[in-house]
Amino acid sequence: MLRTIRTLLVTLVLAATIAHAQNLSITFRGVAGGVNAQLVEWITSYVIPTFEANNPGVNVELIEFGGSDEQLKQQYALDLAVGGGADIMGFDGFWIPEFVEGGLLQPLNVVGGPSVDAWEGWSQIPDGLESLMAFGGERYGIANGTDFRMIHLRYDVMEEAGIENPEAWQPTSWEEVLDAARILKQANPNSYPLQINAGTSMGEATTMQGYYMLLLGTGHFLLDEDGKWIVRSQGILDALDLYETIYVEEELGDPRIQLVQDGRNRSFANFRDGATAMLVEGDWFYRGPTSPGQEFEVANRDEVMGWTKMPAQAPGAGLRGQDFVTISGGTGFALNPNSDNGELAWELLAFMNSKEALDEAQKTQPRIRIRDDVPVPDAPFLTNTAAALGQYTTARPNQSVYAQVSYEAQLMTERVVSGEMTPEQAMNEYAQAVIELVGEENTVDLLN
């Protein structure tokens, strides 16, 4: 009898050990040879083997995700709500507020334990970058870095159309951007020279790379100085009018790819093929998709591809009286509160953000890293964008309702570019929707 009990106990202990085997999983939007392939490469060929070698008995698994950002967010919300999900999750910083308020995320030091606050890396990370993945005074993750948005150009296509010296071209108003697009369209009537994202299919890429870049150029923002949501303004109308000019009246951009599921990839393909010569995107577009060996590699990139600042509607008309506009966000990694190995997961996250690991990451994708002690790579594109755009940038409202307002803004642009509504009608629908979301007392109508 005693023996039976002992056997049973041993079995139980063994089973418990197996159940607590040190397994970690990590997921983000990335596929080997596909989207974010450089990040995948760094994880699989450096982070995982090195971490496993330093921590015997630990298994780290990468779960690739090939869908869109919106689909990933949906997956996370469902995973976390039922107590599942990978231990380390690639997160866009602006998702954090609604996940936190929904009880789906916990602060790093709750999941990872006391060693989180004692981490040496915090002293190397500037406060502004730390806040990319923070909410309500708590840290929920570590960002990979921040980004900027600009107009990416195809010099070769512009030169062919007769625009001289495109390397020095810096438009100072929307009209100058349109004029260049018209010249390109005239030179090649079948092309869609200008791409400014619109529509709900591209999700946040529409808000960040499209709507904001126009709205900020009118001097407005989503919120006024008192933190009230602006539901109607001349700025919104002007931005929508520009969309209408580009996609409906002159077809300087292709309205259809704003509406389809894989539209953003199609816009990248157009740029790669030279059918689009001016594409408003983040610096990720340069670091990732168009770089050598990646999905939308632009052949002979150093010669034919460049960028210029996005101008305000007119000089001085932009946000804070600026001549040029841009906006920043950031993605990174967060810890899953459902993790069985929270402390170990933190160790892996901390390792991923160690100087040693980030130095290694610079080899697959040079960028300005979040840590001050990781040298800025010798890449003119990166240093120039940071120097030129840093002074103009702003960030999204860090509120949980933001994602829904952002969707309404995307829908508003979609209604204009699809020709369903006039800018005025679309703005009124937007106003009604935002009032429903945040309550009339938290909104302001600048046209009344």
d(CA 35, CA 177): 30
Encoded one letter per residue, x for contact with another protein by CB under 8 A and - for no contact, window 305-344 reads ----------------------------------------
For another protein, which is the closer residue by CB, 102 or 162? 102
Cα torsion 324, 237, 281, 159: sign: negative
For another protein, which is the closer residue by CB, 73 or 287? 73
- Taking the complex as a whole, the smallest distance from the CB of residue 97 to another protein amounts, in Å, to 8
The DSSP H or E segment spanning 325 is strand 324-325
Burial of 192 (0-12, 13-18, 19+ CB in 10 A): buried
- Taking the complex as a whole, the smallest distance from the CB of residue 179 to another protein amounts, in Å, to 29
The answer to whether residue 438 forms part of the interface with another protein (CB under 8 A) is no
- Taking the complex as a whole, the smallest distance from the CB of residue 82 to another protein amounts, in Å, to 11
The answer to whether residue 407 forms part of the interface with another protein (CB under 8 A) is yes
Give residues with Cβ within 8 angstroms of 31, minimum separation 6: 37, 40, 64, 65, 66
d(CA 215, CA 313): 9
Locate 324 and state its tokens: 């040029």
d(CA 17, CA 14): 5
Closest listed residue to residue 257, CA positions, set 270, 238, 244: 270
- Taking the complex as a whole, the smallest distance from the CB of residue 17 to another protein amounts, in Å, to 35
> Of 2-10, 83-91, 221-229, 409-417, which segment contacts another protein by CB under 8 A?
409-417
Contact with another protein (CB under 8 A) among 51, 91, 99, 192: 99
- Taking the complex as a whole, the smallest distance from the CB of residue 420 to another protein amounts, in Å, to 6
d(CA 372, CA 385): 17
Contact with another protein (CB under 8 A) among 12, 260, 299, 446: 260
* 27: helix, strand or coil: strand
Closest listed residue to residue 35, CA positions, set 361, 291, 333: 291
Give residues with Cβ within 8 angstroms of 162, minimum separation 6: 183, 187
For another protein, which is the closer residue by CB, 101 or 159? 101
- Taking the complex as a whole, the smallest distance from the CB of residue 84 to another protein amounts, in Å, to 14
Contact with another protein (CB under 8 A) among 159, 250, 343, 429: 429
Contact with another protein (CB under 8 A) among 420, 439, 440, 446: 420
- Taking the complex as a whole, the smallest distance from the CB of residue 47 to another protein amounts, in Å, to 29
Residues 386-405 that bind another protein (CB under 8 A): 400-401, 403-404
The answer to whether residue 34 forms part of the interface with another protein (CB under 8 A) is no
d(CA 30, CA 272): 20
Per the DSSP assignment, residues forming a β-bridge with 23 are 59
d(CA 137, CA 139): 7
- Taking the complex as a whole, the smallest distance from the CB of residue 32 to another protein amounts, in Å, to 21
Task: Tell me the site size for another protein, rule CB under 8 A.
Answer: 30
Kindly report the number of other CB atoms within 10 A of residue 71's CB atom: 13
Residues 38-97 that bind another protein (CB under 8 A): 70, 74, 77-78, 81
Contact footprint for another protein (CB under 8 A): 70, 74, 77-78, 81, 98-99, 101-104, 199, 201, 256, 259-261, 400-401, 403-404, 407, 411, 414-415, 418, 420, 429, 432, 436
